[in-house]
Structure 1
Amino acid sequence: MGFNGAFREMFTPQKRSSSTDGSYFGNYGGFFSLGSSSVYGMKPKTALKLSAFYNGVDQISNDIAKIPFAIYQKDGSNRLSRPDHPANILISTAPNYLMTSFVFRKTMAISYLIRGNALAKIKYNASGYPVSTDFINWDLVKDIRLKKGELLYDVRGYDKPLLASEVLHFKNFSHNGIVGVGVITYAAQQLGMALEVQQFSATNFENKGVRQGVIQTDKTIEKGKDKIIAGWKTAMGEKSPDRIVVLDDGFKFQPINITPQEAQIIEQQKFNIEDIARWLNIAPHKIKSLEQSTNNNIEQQSMDHNSDTIQPHITNFEQEYAKKLCTPSELKDGYFVRANMDVLLRTDIKSRSEAYARAVLGGWRNRNEIRELEDLNAGPEILDEYLTPVNTFTESQIDKKLKEDGK
């Protein structure tokens, strides 16, 4: 079967009962993608005003974006790189004419993390080869529905629905496996509280700690209350840092708002950072909260970040890339997409060197393979040989040694 025919095979809908037809998205657009109906009215751009949330999304999306992806084929016990595959350039270098692979994957990751979904249209040439993956703003998605066994995407700007096989759809947390749920949906209340604390602090700084209150006196004032109020507002409305208000005739100002100390602003802000870290499943030290980090545990926390935070997202991307950019026949022939997470150790020379040393001395990598990982040219042929620890032997080596010794 040719490449074009194989892709046509991908578009052939599976036979399913019409009773499964219906919308997975249409009546729940706000719930699945934009947030919730919380009184806080949390939206993506609003949530990103929180430095901890912004930095967490930025950190995770950067890690997803900087990891190189490539297409491979499993051939027996070997893994063959397939740079000749038409889709390899789309996931490794140039997904479309407007973006690099880093920018494309970061843009997709931001949408994926905040809205729970990231979508891109796969374009094919006349021969049926994929030539471009174009980012689609999730706000443009009107409906995702099942019709006669085929999953359809109704997107503004397109004359007809897009087939599931025509799009890359990365889904984060999902209840049905079809549409993702944005973290803001569930975190709206907590993020709203964090924004209120932030706004309270900003307002107190702007007003030098003086806000609503009452002017008290033991005397009865029959007339002139409006003038007193107006005079107070005029004086306190000045932006000058040395503004002065004089209260005479026994008048006293009594504030009725709580102070930052009473509101425990500092403690609340620390709690908000930790809670945002939980929502994003990211270690607090990655979003610059180092209170519980030490030189002894920071390395372990970084390893936990790679395995617990980044690896699940990378696996998600790998499988969606392979499913949509490789044909069914190629998948049967062992094609797959793999991301090289070793890049996360690129700036950590100590950990990288130790990992390389263990690999070479353990005999499961040779020295030229390590040079390749470091973007160095291959060395002498002797570096292609695998080392074996002198204090370990296989059964065959032991038998050979015994025979040589005549025992």
Structure 2
Amino acid sequence: MGFDSAFGLMFSSQKRSSSSDGSIFGSIGGFFSLGSSNAYGMKPKSALKLSAFYNGVDQISNDIAKIPFAVYQKDGSNRVSRENHPANELIARNPNYLMTSFVFRKTMVVSYLIRGNALAKINFDAKGYPVSTDFINWDNVQDIRMKKGELLYDVRGYDKPLLASEVLHFKNFSHNGIVGVGVITYAAQQLNIAMEVQNFSATNLKEKGVRQGVIETSKVISKGKDKIIAGWKSAMSERTADRVTVLDEGMTFKPINITPQEAQIIEQARFSIEDIARWLNIALHKIKSLQQSTNNNIEQQALEHVSDTIHPIVANFEQEYAKKLFTPDEIKKGYFIRGNIDSLQRADIKSRSEAHARDVLSGWKSRKEVRALEDMNEGPEFLGEYLTPVNTFTESQIDKNLKEDGK
């Protein structure tokens, strides 16, 4: 639930309304957006009991959370950092008094991945600038509806609907562009199978392979069969490491062993990991499954993880941040927000040094820019000059040299 914060001034002149017509949840079925109800009874907390699913969500949310986001402004062909803008403080360092920027963004991405939606209330100061964002648990969203062209959010804990301009709403897979759909809604069948496999394996381990079977004897037992069965169950129900039972009169216990089909069910756990990786759009090696990874292809897979998994989410966050945290006038002046995904693509120090050397010597990066990428101080002023290889000339330089030679 959002914090009890006062509503700030809006960027627009929208007015609140408490009417309940035009429900978006009602038009598509609210349970889709919640990602917690489905024919297989799979819920987010249950899905997170699967190690592959938990690790996949944890990996993606960590990667997004550690990316530095900042406010910039276009200045011709250049971009200028605007560290003093209120939105920069909010997204880069201090989203609210309870969370760091890392924790806030990780919490939002976890909700984004599992529920298909991540929601936060924006609080504004008296001048209309954003000063904090409060995370809203998606379970507390009761309805999203249209009212006279305005999108309203009915959230438990708030006495009035929240306007679209008052919230950050990050949507994952969506059918209408307004409400996202949780991955668990569609992955429920595969996740349920994976959970059943996990429970089946745990049961067999717990029983040490002794589950069901028959007690055999060469004698005919006309009375007391129930007592024999009850005695066996009582003895085997003990959870001590040294449980022992005794069978009289030549009786023997013959367990009904795991069938080949049941053994294949346990083997299915490996294939469940692949399915979970597909649903989360994450490389197998990122969730610690290395059967198909080699030293030759794992670097390529890491690059694909950034471009195919992380970059789309970062672009989603960049655009929603800019749309809700800047005034229309600031957007016209070229203000934008960038998440620097280069921080995820840092190679080892040897590879970075070689790349920096090529960039500096070829003249398209200055030594100051390289030092900034490595989080170093700028250094002397002359390091900002661009180098030019002595054996490389532009067309204008060649013309100049020819003219000078002709004098």
TM-score in same-fold range (> 0.5):
yes
Q: Provide closer, same or farther for how the CA distance between residues 239 and 398 of structure 1 changes in structure 2, counting only shifts above 3 A.
A: same
Q: Structure 1 residues 394-403 or 89-98, which shifts more?
A: 394-403
- The 5 A counterparts of 1:48-67 are 48-67=48-67
Partner of 2:39 in structure 1?
38
Distance, in Å, in 1 between the alignment partners of 2:109 and 2:260 is: 37
Distance, in Å, in 2 between the alignment partners of 1:111 and 1:237 is: 41
How far off its partner does 1:221 sit?
3.3
How far off its partner does 1:167 sit?
0.2
Is the contact made by 1:215 and 1:253 (CA closer than 8 Å) also made in structure 2?
yes
Distance, in Å, in 1 between the alignment partners of 2:57 and 2:13 is: 34
Equivalent AA in structure 2 for residue 56 of structure 1: G
Partner of 1:134 in structure 2?
134
Secondary structure of residue in 1 paired with 2:376: coil
Is the contact made by 1:36 and 1:188 (CA closer than 8 Å) also made in structure 2?
no
How far off its partner does 1:299 sit?
1.1
Q: Any idea what the Cα deviations from partners look like across 1:231-271, whole Å, max 9, x if unmatched?
A: 11012112233333344445443444635884225531211
How far off its partner does 1:213 sit?
2.8
Q: Structure 1 residues 200-209 or 385-394, which shifts more?
A: 385-394
Q: Structure 1 residues 393-402 or 62-71, which shifts more?
A: 393-402
* Runs of 4+ residues deviating >6 angstroms: none
Partner of 1:86 in structure 2?
86
Equivalent AA in structure 2 for residue 244 of structure 1: V
- The 5 A counterparts of 1:247-396 are 247-249=247-249, 251-256=251-256, 258=258, 262-265=262-265, 267-346=267-346, 348-396=348-396
- The 5 A counterparts of 1:157-236 are 157-217=157-217, 220-236=220-236
Distance, in Å, in 2 between the alignment partners of 1:10 and 1:337 is: 21
How far off its partner does 1:76 sit?
1.0
Q: Provide closer, same or farther for how the CA distance between residues 355 and 183 of structure 1 changes in structure 2, counting only shifts above 3 A.
A: farther
Q: Provide closer, same or farther for how the CA distance between residues 358 and 143 of structure 1 changes in structure 2, counting only shifts above 3 A.
A: farther
Q: Structure 1 residues 130-139 or 364-373, which shifts more?
A: 364-373
How far off its partner does 1:329 sit?
1.3
Equivalent AA in structure 1 for residue 231 of structure 2: G
Equivalent AA in structure 2 for residue 371 of structure 1: R
Is the contact made by 1:36 and 1:186 (CA closer than 8 Å) also made in structure 2?
no
Partner of 1:18 in structure 2?
none
Q: Provide closer, same or farther for how the CA distance between residues 38 and 251 of structure 1 changes in structure 2, counting only shifts above 3 A.
A: farther
Distance, in Å, in 2 between the alignment partners of 1:354 and 1:306 is: 22
Query: Taking every aligned residue pair, what percent have the same amino acid on both sides?
Result: 76
Is the contact made by 2:200 and 2:266 (CA closer than 8 Å) also made in structure 1?
no
Q: Any idea what the Cα deviations from partners look like across 1:8-60, whole Å, max 9, x if unmatched?
A: 453448xxxxxxx7221247232221334223x11111111111111110110
Distance, in Å, in 1 between the alignment partners of 2:76 and 2:121 is: 34
Equivalent AA in structure 2 for residue 293 of structure 1: S
Q: Provide closer, same or farther for how the CA distance between residues 253 and 74 of structure 1 changes in structure 2, counting only shifts above 3 A.
A: same
Structure 1 alignment gaps of length 5 or more: 1-6, 14-20
Distance, in Å, in 2 between the alignment partners of 1:260 and 1:90 is: 57
Partner of 2:5 in structure 1?
none
- TM-score norm. by structure 2 comes to 0.90
Is the contact made by 1:10 and 1:328 (CA closer than 8 Å) also made in structure 2?
no
Q: Provide closer, same or farther for how the CA distance between residues 149 and 37 of structure 1 changes in structure 2, counting only shifts above 3 A.
A: same
How far off its partner does 1:122 sit?
0.3
Q: Structure 1 residues 80-89 or 219-228, which shifts more?
A: 219-228
Distance, in Å, in 2 between the alignment partners of 1:391 and 1:195 is: 65
Secondary structure of residue in 2 paired with 1:133: strand
Q: Structure 1 residues 88-97 or 203-212, which shifts more?
A: 203-212
Is 1:23 paired with 2:8?
no
Equivalent AA in structure 2 for residue 320 of structure 1: E
Partner of 1:3 in structure 2?
none
Distance, in Å, in 2 between the alignment partners of 1:256 and 1:278 is: 36
Computed over aligned residues only, the root mean square deviation of the Cα atoms, in angstroms, reads: 2.2
Kindly tell me the number of residue pairs found equivalent between the two proteins. Answer: 393
Q: Structure 1 residues 65-74 or 209-218, which shifts more?
A: 209-218
Secondary structure of residue in 1 paired with 2:70: strand
Is the contact made by 2:368 and 2:378 (CA closer than 8 Å) also made in structure 1?
yes
Is the contact made by 1:44 and 1:114 (CA closer than 8 Å) also made in structure 2?
yes
How far off its partner does 1:396 sit?
1.5
Distance, in Å, in 2 between the alignment partners of 1:50 and 1:110 is: 15
Equivalent AA in structure 1 for residue 131 of structure 2: V
Q: Provide closer, same or farther for how the CA distance between residues 191 and 257 of structure 1 changes in structure 2, counting only shifts above 3 A.
A: farther
